[in-house]
Amino acid sequence: MVMKPCFVQDVLAEHREREMREVRVRHESQFVGKTILEADMHEKTGIVMVGIGKQGKLTIDPPRDFVIEAGDIILGIGKKKMN
């Protein structure tokens, strides 16, 4: 399967209410110490996790038993905040 290089940008352009973001997990986050399955981030925040950065390494589509730690960087797609 071959995708054109700007596929993600094209999809996000078509769905302007969504955006891709990187968010650093804070020490006080409710998700620290939980697996991706336990965190249930999509249900609680509306974010679809694309990947997670840990110690300089990006894991795309991390497994459900992946433990979230403070300092990790979540790469996700979600709705833009409304002002």
What confidence tens digit (pLDDT) does each residue in 17-37 have? 778 889 999 999 999 999 999
Question: 3 pLDDT exceeds 70?
Answer: no
What confidence score (pLDDT) does residue 83 get?
41
Q: Does the CA dihedral 55-59-63-64 come out positive or negative?
A: positive
Which domains, and CATH codes, for the chain?
Answer: 7-79 (3.30.70.1450)
Q: What's at 30, amino acid-wise?
A: Q
pLDDT tens-digit series, residues 50-62: 999 999 999 999 9
3-state secondary structure of 81: coil
Q: Which two tokens stand for residue 69?
A: 């730690």
